[in-house]
Amino acid sequence: MNRTFGENTGNRNNVEGKLDFEGFLSPLVLQKFGEYMHSHRFLEDGTMRDSDNWQNHFGKNHQSVCMQSLWRHFHDMWLEHRGFKSRDGFEEAMMGALFNLMAIADKHYKDLNSKD
């Protein structure tokens, strides 16, 4: 995307080939995801875990734990899609699925980077 600006504007390098996160990501989805993540920070004893606690992963069975949870959330989405009630509703299921995909991907890419 090349833009032509008036005479009194700053100069910028061409954005061609650069990642466009503003275009790739949805602020609405990120807002809902942030709200979902915050609502799940509270432990049963009332304490609140750090926002990045999930990046510590979930032990040696991390991928399996996340995959099982992902399938439960996907199943809830599918139920809602077919007109049935799920455990916590469509939005909670979508954000739960997104969380598990993020957790699986985070570990995958960290593992790849640690092998270098």
- pLDDT per residue over 65-101, tens digit each? 999 999 999 999 999 999 999 999 999 999 999 999 9
**What value, to the nearest 5°, has the Cα angle with vertex 98 and ends 28 and 40?**
85
pLDDT for 50-61, tens place per residue?
A: 999 999 999 999
Domain ranges of the chain: 21-51+58-114
Helix or strand (DSSP H, E) at 113: helix 90-114
Distances (CA, A) of 60 to 6, 64, 103, 116: 57, 9, 13, 21
Spatial contact of 36 and 92, defined as CB atoms under 8 Å apart: yes
